[in-house]
Structure 1
């Protein structure tokens, strides 16, 4: 009898847990070679942005980042530089803020607009409202980069991870993971390093 009561209590607790107010399930997300689905997210200029809007793109640098993480702040100039270098070559930066603004008010949509203006972002800065997109990608940190190649079968994941090997001082970077990956992709060559560990802040849910 005690065993039955314990089983019923456990079942009730599991059921109640399933009705928590905030429940985001993250699996491993995309792997190299997977095809990423498109999305429609609000940009800081009020427009809705999708990957399909970029008809002549050869690929995308989808970067999950935010206003408040010190690592993201340290990389802002480098993200701007990536967009300046690769957008003319057909690989624009698409930045997405995955944080829940209720947990991080500094990552609200209003704060995003202010930050984009202050830093002169040349790329879309999108809000993952409802936090639906970052779990699909499997983003774990800010910043976290996903290089996509536009192909006949869709946007194929070619690189996942960090921007480079020094999250602190840009002048001490020795290996530029993202630049090496994009250069190889555009040249039709093999990307030697396809995954690295993203260094940054955890995504706030």
Structure 2
């Protein structure tokens, strides 16, 4: 076991060394594990909100589920979806499925101070949590900003029901044909099968 770990560490060193020498950056998503799949039970977390308070899924005693969305301040894709994420929270929070936004980035412009400014500027209606130390997003397997994980609250825990994109057109909300997340939440609340249950998340890689 020790030999395998040492070999794995050496491989990572070689990758980073070669990339540095050639001026190539290695995206974090290339090193993250697979994360959750449909049907898995997601672990809870405790992360700091922009108001300074710690937030966990267990705080929402009456929730039927959660829209956990990994997003950030700086990515153009994430910015393009901000109003739609606010709309999702307004539509589904009253039905028991609030948005829980998490910033997984560790780069300039995505620090906690900038998060507070962005939340105030845009009037976020949902928690905007800082994944300090980048401990939560690898558990989920998030790779993009934004990346959505719909969880259903059940007797055995928060079960992953949908993973992927918000819809099929990040550029123009008026031209959206497939509202993946809305369809998934509506199906979950109606006790119906979610189809599709996974889509490809489109956005900036997590840095």
TM-score > 0.5, shorter chain as reference:
yes
The aligned residue for residue 124 of structure 1 is: 127
1:174-197 deviation per Cα after TM superposition (whole angstroms, max 9, x unaligned):
000000000000001111110000
The aligned residue for residue 70 of structure 1 is: 76
Q: 2 CA distance for matches of 1:196 and 1:54?
A: 27
State the Cα distance separating 1:17 from its structure 2 match. 3.4
1:131-176 deviation per Cα after TM superposition (whole angstroms, max 9, x unaligned):
0000000000000000000000000000000000001100000000
Superposed, which structure 2 residues align to 1:44-193 within 5 Å?
Answer: 44-100=50-106, 104-193=107-196
4+ residue runs over 6 A deviation: none
Q: 1 CA distance for matches of 2:62 and 2:38?
A: 23
Q: Which runs of 5+ in 1 are unaligned?
A: 1-9
From 7, 10, 14, the equivalent of 1:14 is 10
TM-score (norm 2): 0.87
Number of residue pairs matched?
Answer: 187
The aligned residue for residue 33 of structure 1 is: 39
Q: Which has the larger radius of gyration?
A: 1
1:88-147 deviation per Cα after TM superposition (whole angstroms, max 9, x unaligned):
0000000000001xxx22101000000000000000000000000000000000000000
Q: 2 CA distance for matches of 1:129 and 1:65?
A: 14
The alignment's C-alpha RMSD in Å is 1.8
